[in-house]
């Protein structure tokens, strides 16, 4: 077993207790990730007996036949994903060619926000209204460092490279089709050697929930726990937010969902028997620990990704945990 160290679960730059890297790839001063030095790369390869290491910020992908046990949720303060030799990690992607990197960013500078931060409601509204002048938007997915824009499936047509490739300073990609973007996300085709496979043997229950948290009270890249099938512990990492226009409400109001990347082996049917399970921030030391950020609702069988409505409306309605 790897030695245990300090842990903090506060967003980008978080460190899991099993993360023993003697360095960090998150620069607190510039609030940005940085590539490892030659010596730091050697340490990662040597420590995890890796055959390849790649970086898809905010993740580090480690290909190895011998992942540590318990496997750390982070390596050098970067969200860690361990995959078997010969496997491949596939990031989220769309199949359209609408993005044009040479088009001007339609969002005024005053409404932009730091790369690794969540947008405020005012910033979301500014993006939606600006994009609405040149396209019909169905939903927006803010997943740092990109934005995935779901276009409404209607009569409006879009030509190749006809839409801005940068929106609010971020890379923008577009989804257009009869199904929502999340219904098209490919299923995982292999068993990912992720932390839950090792950690769930140590902990059998999720962090005890103690209160509801608004979507503005926590950041992305925070790991959470949820009790899965047979009370097995599942880990989920907050990866962004999805916004849709609320029906029968003022235009300025949105339905907001948290986007999670969750951890489980191929064939794990998280959506069966766990619908409604609280998703709880896993931290014994920070004030957010035990906060409920949502209740499990949607996740495709075999996929790494799940959506859950934020609980802001419940808080506004004076609901609470019992």
Q: Is the pLDDT of residue 267 over 50?
A: no
Lowest mean pLDDT among 2-16, 79-93, 95-109: 2-16
Q: For residue 17, what pLDDT is reported?
A: 86
- CA atoms of 215 and 223, how far apart (whole Å): 14
Q: Which two tokens stand for residue 250?
A: 């003022």
Q: How much is the mean pLDDT over the chain? A: 83
**22 burial class (0-12, 13-18, 19+ CB within 10 angstroms)?**
exposed
Query: What pLDDT, on the 0 to 100 scale, is given for residue 206?
Result: 64
Please say if the pLDDT value at position 2 is more than 60.
no
Q: Which residue has the higher pLDDT, 316 or 142?
A: 142
More confident residue, 314 or 249: 314
d(CA 30, CA 40): 20
Domains of the chain: 1-90 (no CATH), 99-183 (no CATH), 204-316 (2.40.10.10)
Gyration radius of the chain over CA positions: 20
pTM of the full structure? 0.87
Q: In sequence order, what DSSP letters do the residues of 101-145 get, joined into one string?
A: TTSPP-S-GGG---TTSPPPHHHHHHHHHHHTTTS-EEEEEEETT
Whether the per-residue pLDDT at 199 is higher than 70: the answer is: no
Question: Span 255-265, mean pLDDT?
Answer: 76
Question: To which residue do tokens 């947008």 refer?
Answer: 119
* pLDDT one-digit tens code per residue, 4-23: 556 778 889 999 888 999 99
pLDDT (mean) for 124-135 = 95
pLDDT at site 201? 38
Quick one: what percent of the chain has pLDDT higher than 70?
81
DSSP state of 15: B
First to last CA, the chain: 37
* Residue for token pair 């910020």: 57
The C-alpha atoms of residue 185 and residue 91 are separated, in whole angstroms, by: 10
Q: Higher-confidence residue: 252 or 73?
A: 73
Categorize the per-residue pLDDT at 197 as very low, low, confident or very high, splitting at 50, 70 and 90. Answer: very low
Could you tell me whether strands 233-245 and 223-227 are parallel, antiparallel, or unpaired per DSSP bridges?
A: antiparallel
24-29, long-range: CB < 8 A, 24+ apart: 24/76, 24/77, 25/60, 25/76, 25/77, 25/78, 26/76, 26/77, 26/78
> Is the CB of residue 7 less than 8 Å from the CB of residue 17?
yes
pLDDT at 298: 57
Cβ–Cβ under 8 Å, residues 131 and 106 = yes
Q: Pinpoint the alpha helices (H) of the chain.
A: 38-48, 121-131, 195-199, 312-316
Question: Is a pLDDT exceeding 60 seen at residue 251?
Answer: no
Pick the residue with more confidence: 158 or 204? 158
pLDDT of the residue at 301? 54
DSSP type of residue 314: H
Q: What is the pLDDT of residue 39?
A: 98
pLDDT: which is higher, 61 or 69 = 61
Task: Tell me how far apart the alpha carbons of residues 250 and 232 are, in angstroms, rounded to a whole number.
Answer: 41
């Amino acid at each position: 077993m790897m030695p245990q160290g300090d842990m903090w679960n506060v967003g980008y730059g978080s460190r899991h207790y099993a993360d023993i890297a003697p360095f960090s790839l998150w620069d607190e001063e510039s609030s940005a990730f940085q590539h490892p030095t030659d010596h730091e790369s050697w340490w990662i390869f040597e420590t995890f007996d890796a055959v390849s290491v790649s970086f898809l910020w905010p993740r580090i992908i480690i290909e190895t036949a011998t992942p540590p046990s318990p496997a750390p949720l982070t390596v050098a303060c970067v969200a860690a994903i361990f995959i078997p030799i010969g496997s491949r990690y596939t990031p989220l992607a769309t199949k359209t060619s609408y993005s044009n990197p040479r088009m001007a960013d339609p969002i005024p500078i005053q409404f932009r926000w730091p790369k690794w931060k969540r947008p405020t409601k005012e910033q979301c509204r500014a993006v939606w209204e600006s994009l609405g002048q040149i396209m019909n938007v169905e939903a927006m997915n803010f997943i740092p460092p990109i934005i995935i824009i779901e276009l409404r499936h209607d009569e409006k047509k879009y030509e190749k490279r006809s839409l801005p490739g940068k929106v609010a300073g971020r890379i923008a990609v577009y989804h257009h089709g009869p199904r929502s973007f999340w219904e098209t996300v490919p299923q995982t085709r292999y068993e990912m050697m992720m932390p839950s496979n090792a950690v769930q043997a140590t902990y059998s229950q999720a962090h005890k929930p103690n209160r509801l948290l608004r979507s503005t009270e926590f950041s992305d890249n925070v790991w959470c726990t949820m009790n899965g099938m047979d009370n097995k512990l599942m880990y989920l990492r907050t990866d962004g937010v999805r916004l849709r226009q609320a029906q029968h409400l003022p235009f300025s109001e949105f339905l907001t969902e948290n986007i999670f990347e969750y951890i489980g082996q191929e064939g794990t049917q998280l959506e069966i028997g766990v619908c409604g399970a609280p998703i709880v921030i896993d931290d014994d030391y920070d004030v957010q620990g035990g906060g409920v950020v949502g209740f499990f609702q949607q996740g495709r069988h075999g996929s790494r990704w799940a959506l859950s409505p934020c609980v802001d409306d419940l808080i506004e309605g004076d609901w609470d945990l019992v």
